[in-house]
Amino acid sequence: MKINTFILALTLAASAKVYAEEVTLGVWHKLSDHESFEKRGEIVFDADQWHILNQQRNQHSGPNAAFTAATAANSKASRLQQQQAAKQKQQTELELQNFPITYKNIVPTAASAIETLADDFVLNVRAPVKHYERDPKPEELHTYEDGVTESQEDFDQRLEEWTLLQEDLDNAPEKTPGTVAFYQIMLKDESRGWQALSSIKSCLLVASDFQERIKLHLDQDRKVFAFDYYTTSDKCSEEHTKEYPIKSLDVFKNVEVSIDGPQSAPKSQFHKAQAIKVDETGKPEAEKTFFQKYWVYIMPVVIIFLFTGGEPEKKAE
């Protein structure tokens, strides 16, 4: 008996540990002038707890709940149950709205990291200006590593190619800014090797005063499989087309994270296809006329009418 109780306690403890396990998503970003992603923060939430609340909401707002409320509207006790269900649904909605999802920035502690952050992190709202490096003009025959000197014909061809390249560079828009720059963000779940990438125009961050919104999408197994990323602003003005120096990750503190669970699609209706009849030649039979379909019912009526001769003649007075 004691052994069974001990095993049951261990099982409950293990299940409670799994139930309380939190999901941690690393938030990485890449500025337009950087070549790699840097980690800027983390998102932490309990997927199991959110799933339970979402199930409770679906039970209160599903078709079964509506049917129960409709059939139980006549009795006083049923109306009381309906009011309690509505109150419980409202409470569940409030708990989902206030569901704890923590976002925190990664604050560098090393002095070198802080200095790099202050010097390098610039949010370009315009793509960097394209500068083309020009090779020097060929002046003499080239001697290769094996000591062989190129021929005059090869030299003339190399000089001609260099001249054509210079003409293309002269006509290139070297001094005009490029298109709008993009701010890239990536979420990582390193515990299962999952990651996803999204991006927006950098100017939207500045226009919204860095008001970011992240919506996580969970699958049936309560795992994040995608996310939406946007800001509270959807337009950029001319004042938001300059470089924006980022001296601290504190600018990324107005992050609102929400969760969207799996949606049940309506069941598809299956209609059995009607068999197509074919004739002796293998071609589909032509559709029958009205008389061909119902002659079995029409002919008896006609025969009865002919044999009865209609109404009897009236005798003359």
Please give the helix or strand (H or E) that residue 213 lies within, else none.
Answer: strand 211-218
Tokens 């609340």 map to which residue? 53
The CA distance from 211 to 204, in Å, is 9
- Rounded-to-integer distance, Cα 66 and Cα 82, Å: 10
Q: What is the DSSP letter of 98?
A: T
Give residue 93's pLDDT.
67
- Answer for the pair 166, 136: CB distance below 8 angstroms, yes or no: no
Q: What is the pLDDT of residue 220?
A: 86
Task: Report the pLDDT value the prediction gives residue 75, as an integer from 0 to 100.
Answer: 59
Looking at residue 82, what is its pLDDT? 72
Q: CB-based contacts of 37: which residues, under 8 Å, 6+ apart?
A: 28, 29, 30, 184, 186
Coil, strand or helix: which one is 231?
A: strand
Supply the DSSP string of 31-51, one letter for each residue.
Answer: -TT-SS-EEEEEEEE-HHHHH
Q: Mark out the alpha helices in 98-198 (DSSP H runs).
A: 111-120, 152-171
For the chain, which ranges sit under pLDDT 70?
1-21, 32-34, 60-77, 85, 88-89, 92-93, 95-98, 107-133, 172-179, 239-243, 247, 263-280, 282, 309-317
If 0-12 CB within 10 Å is exposed, 13-18 middle and 19+ buried, where does residue 27 land?
Answer: buried
Contact 198, 227 (CB under 8 A): yes
pTM of the model: 0.54
State the burial class of residue 243 (Cβ atoms within 10 Å of its Cβ: 0-12, 13-18, 19+): middle
Q: Are strands 224-231 and 182-189 parallel, antiparallel or unpaired?
A: unpaired
Angle value at C-alpha 25, between 198 and 224, nearest 5 degrees = 70
Q: Is 88 left (phi over 0), alpha (psi -120 to 50) or beta?
A: alpha
pLDDT of 37 reads 86
